Amino acid sequence: MTDTSAIELEGNKNPIKILQFSDLHLLARPSDTLIGINTDASFRSIVHAARQSIWPPDLILLTGDLAQDAEIATYERLWHHLDALELACYCLPGNHDKPIMHQVLNSNKIACTTRIDTGNWQIICLDSTIQNAEGGFLSESALQNLKSYLDQFPSKNALIALHHHPIPIDCAWLDTMVLKNSDELFSLLCNYPRVKAIICGHIHQEIDYMHQNIRLLGTPSTCFQFKPHTTEFTLDNRSAGFRSLKLYPNGSIETWVERLPELPEGLDFACSGY
């Protein structure tokens, strides 16, 4: 991942507008399906819906599991989807992604980066993936980078983005794949009151919690959803969605989730895994 990117904004009084897309699970061919869903078509439908929201945003965050088939062709197709938007897009890896994504998603406007400077705010992007594992973990270097950014820019409000959910969400099977060293993360963050929120993907559902004075925001998948408060893998009957955020200069956050009006066609509720 590259170090720092910057977004040029008009003045410092307006909120920073962000769209978060997560858990696209794109497949090697655009016609392929996963759990009965054409994930490519579902993502394109989400983009279409987002164009009716806070468009154009100042930036788009994609918080992992961009690919189910983590191949060059998959990431190249995603690059073309994003390039057509003509917006700054920043990508994080999820447990289904592979390092090849960093080579493909590597241009001026579409990139994997560890920090985004937006004026009154900094967005710090953390790689929480563990090779060949579903759960999350923040390496010592990731935590050191986080601390360094917070120390260097103490006057900026901070939004932290990662793939894995940092605390359990009362969903037993998903909570086996939680961020394993969240205690280290929150022990660090307690010294930095400018950290206002953490956003994640991975859980294919919406959450909005407060934890140790930090807002925790989870976002639906752009394809299929997981049913909350379940002990075993269970699909939800809610439709695909995305999150909109407005980050204000005073540190406040306005955010909401929007969903497609209908469920993706062909959703296979009988599936016991993915």
- Structure tokens belonging to residue 10: 């008009």
| pLDDT range class, residue 120, cuts 50, 70, 90 | very high
Place 11 in a pLDDT band, splitting at 50, 70 and 90. Answer: low
What average pLDDT does this structure show over 189-207? 98
Q: What ranges do the domains of the chain cover?
A: 2-259
What is the structure's pLDDT at 266? 60
Taking only the tens place, the pLDDT of each residue in 208-252 is 999 999 999 999 999 999 999 999 999 999 999 999 999 999 999
Q: What is the CA radius of gyration of the chain?
A: 17
- Say whether pLDDT at 5 is over 90: no
pLDDT confidence band for 201 (50 / 70 / 90): very high
Residue labelled with tokens 């959703």: 267
Class of domain 2-259: alpha beta
Question: 99 preceded by cis ω (within 30°)?
Answer: no
pLDDT of residue 262: 73
Q: Alpha-carbon distance 47 to 265, whole Å?
A: 17
Does pTM surpass 0.75?
yes
Let me know: does 263 contact 239? Beta carbons within 8 Å: yes
